[in-house]
Amino acid sequence: MLPKHQLAEFALIQRIAKRFGGLRNQTLVGIGDDCAVTQSNAKTLQLITTDLLVEDIHFNRRFASCRDIGYKAMVGNLSDIAAMGGVPRQFLTSIAIPPSFSRNNVDMLYEGMMQPAKQSGVALIGGDTSSSPRTLFLSLTILGEVKPAHVIQRIGLQVGDEIFVTGTLGDSNAGLRILQTPAHKRVPRSCRTWLIQRHLRPIARLDAGQRLAKYRLATAMIDLSDGFSGDLAHLCKLNAVGATINVFHLPISDALRTYAHRMGEQAYDIALQGGEDYELLFAIRPESLSRLKRWITRGLLNAAHIGTITPKLQGLRMITPTGSIRRMPIRSYEHFRSKRVQTRRPTT
Amino acid sequence: MLPKHQLAEFALIQRIAKRFGGLRNQTLVGIGDDCAVTQSNAKTLQLITTDLLVEDIHFNRRFASCRDIGYKAMVGNLSDIAAMGGVPRQFLTSIAIPPSFSRNNVDMLYEGMMQPAKQSGVALIGGDTSSSPRTLFLSLTILGEVKPAHVIQRIGLQVGDEIFVTGTLGDSNAGLRILQTPAHKRVPRSCRTWLIQRHLRPIARLDAGQRLAKYRLATAMIDLSDGFSGDLAHLCKLNAVGATINVFHLPISDALRTYAHRMGEQAYDIALQGGEDYELLFAIRPESLSRLKRWITRGLLNAAHIGTITPKLQGLRMITPTGSIRRMPIRSYEHFRSKRVQTRRPTT
């Protein structure tokens, strides 16, 4: 169901979780969700997640400034807190600096991190620095809070649940392709700029996550980092269910539509593959549908109704724009990585 | 006072702390101590620290097995919890795996981590994995607990305080030198084995830290990772005090004594430089001296009384075995790093 190298990494993490993972010491959720969850006090659960960015794997300094790299590292972590319905509080950085890095590069990296951090009220409270022989390595650990009744996990889907996704899909993937391939110049400049911005400066959907948590509406939620189809497949596998997605309802930006048209591709193909969207994929019970649609109409939530949870036997299917039902191709998002090495997958 | 490259890194961290650090959101201690401290609930403070190991900077796979690397990474983090008087609870790993690494290598790395983790009751609750273009990166984040009245910080020294250190100093440094230089074969095999073991398998002094915390005896504490003289200089600078160390009282193992003798060196020189000792350096008020000495005599604490806190103007001094008083040379510990790049320094 998942591409081979993703499967390899899921297997690695599952083996580590099985052999070495534990739920002792007030730990309520361990390896396998967007964040680990520990009991802080009777009123509050603590969320913890760590996210790793490696030069030439997750970013390339030809395409991204130090400020961009810091910004995206922070958003990737904030997005994990959002996917549990939490409020981010503090973070720590672990950074290995290559000889080619100047003091100004380091400052810009931190400035990039602090911009979304400040907007979200997150404080930098510690970390570790080291030199690195060649490549930049940046690992962030973020702490957040959520009320026990509000926490949203990856587990909880039931057949018949309605599937939603925030924002728009595929923009980041298109933005990366534009950065990598000058041939994309036939796409209008304003579209290119917008898609690149979506790749370099994603948005963590903290408000949406917290709203869904507060009203206890989402049955399960995950943030989309590895790519829509792969992340959906992972979520369905965890819950032992299938899903049918109506590609006509996938939220696609005008810029992506223009890009796909000029490149002779289907916009929904790019949206299905996705990658680093940092949007939230969640499901609700059918009886909550009218309430959610009201929220969307009133502008309280930026989300689209894209499909339904089905029995596991039906697998992952898609309704194409012509109305035919087909098996959904699971295509994984490739950063800059070489094909021989394993891909990343957040384990918390 | 500190070597140039250490100064450069202190300066980097101080600038980051000043520009970007914050104490919002129930954070009581931010950048600058062994751990950050947040308020968990009325009865408990939470300790958090992150520690980074980079291949060819902090370890070399010619000298250390994957199990050794994992073991030491965990002890380095546990030691930071020990230095605040805390109890470690959970940890997360962030790991970038080079193509040369086998599945078995990864397993051994985790087995190495889990050995001291299990002994200390610490549970693996999450993390992130990635591929790495060339070198192994391993960042651990550890969470711990301490009662508000028990927490020991790096700040708190007063002139007249008596200085102690746990265990023995310099063994790890000698062990590393033996691994790096085959010429050390004139040192007896049993000494070599023991010193290498001290380098590869250090001990986190959790019991000592917790005992000092419980009885509120230590006025300040730090764990020795970068080297005794450098860490002492850093502690004194933070507290705006000086210190006089009696080198005759430095705790030196028989193995280090034999090693130094065979190499034509002074054992106390190696102890003063240290590096990756992971022992605790702490001070107590003079009135607690008899109590502490009683603990030591009864085997309740493995520590040595090595000097006294003095006014800042006197700087760092040492009383040599001949009884003369001299300025203490501050020598930093070098891992495998090249001289052009900055050194590591835990910022929490």
Identify the CATH number of the domain in which residue B253 sits.
3.90.650.10
Q: What is the rounded distance in angstroms from the CA atom of residue B60 to the CA atom of residue A66?
A: 29
pLDDT higher than threshold 90 for residue B207? yes
- Give how far B208 is from chain A: nearest CA, Å: 22
CB contact under 8 A, B344 and A21: no
Tell me if A6 is assigned to some domain.
Answer: no
CB contact under 8 A, B121 and A26: no
Measured between CA atoms, the residue of chain B closest to residue A10 is B129
Q: What is the average pLDDT score of chain B?
A: 89
Alpha helices by DSSP H, listed for A274-321, are 289-297
Report the run of H or E that residue B104 belongs to, with start and end.
Answer: helix B103-119
Chain A contacts of B6, Cβ < 8 Å?
Answer: none
One domain for residues B276 and B166 = yes
pLDDT of B319 = 96
Whether residue A131 contacts residue B12, with contact meaning beta carbons closer than 8 Å, is answered with no
One domain for residues A133 and A217 = no
- Give how far A43 is from chain B: nearest CA, Å: 10
Whether residue A12 contacts residue A18, with contact meaning beta carbons closer than 8 Å, is answered with no
One domain for residues A274 and A308 = yes
The torsion angles phi and psi of B269, rounded to 5 degrees, stand at -60, -45
Which of B16, B35, B134 has the CB atom closest to A110's CB atom? B16
Number of CB atoms found within 10 A of residue B104's CB: 9
Domain count within chain A: 2
Chain B contacts of A92, Cβ < 8 Å?
Answer: 36, 48-50, 141, 348
- Give how far B262 is from chain A: nearest CA, Å: 34
CATH code (residue A100): 3.30.1330.10
pLDDT higher than threshold 80 for residue B76? yes
CB contact under 8 A, A134 and B135: yes
Number of CB atoms found within 10 A of residue B96's CB: 31
pLDDT in tens, chain A (348 residues): 444 555 566 677 777 777 777 667 677 787 878 888 888 787 899 999 999 999 998 899 889 999 999 999 999 999 999 999 999 999 999 999 999 999 899 999 999 999 999 999 999 998 899 899 999 999 999 999 999 999 899 999 999 999 999 999 999 999 999 998 876 678 899 999 999 999 999 999 999 999 999 999 999 999 999 899 999 999 999 999 999 999 999 999 999 999 999 999 999 999 999 999 999 999 999 999 999 999 999 999 999 999 999 999 999 999 998 999 999 998 876 665 433 333 334 444
Q: What is the rounded distance in angstroms from the CA atom of residue A202 to the CA atom of residue B285?
A: 53
CB contact under 8 A, B36 and A126: yes
Suggest the residue from A131, A134, A343 to mutate for an interface test with chain B (most B CBs closer than 10 A): A131
Residue appearing with tokens 């950065």: A179
- Pairing mode, strands B241-246 and B316-319: parallel
Task: Give B21's DSSP letter.
Answer: B
CB contact under 8 A, A48 and B125: yes
Tell me if A9 is assigned to some domain.
Answer: no
Domain of A89 in residue numbering reads as: 21-146
CB contact under 8 A, B48 and A347: no
One domain for residues B26 and B172 = no
Which of A16, A51, A126 has the CB atom closest to B110's CB atom? A16
CB contact under 8 A, B20 and A52: no
Tell me if B270 is assigned to some domain.
Answer: yes
Tell me if A303 is assigned to some domain.
Answer: yes
Task: Pull the structure tokens for residue B262.
Answer: 């065979």
One domain for residues A132 and A256 = no
CB contact under 8 A, B41 and A41: yes
Number of CB atoms found within 10 A of residue B175's CB: 28
One domain for residues B190 and B72 = no
Chain A contacts of B346, Cβ < 8 Å?
Answer: 128
ipTM surpasses 0.90 = no
One domain for residues B240 and B271 = yes
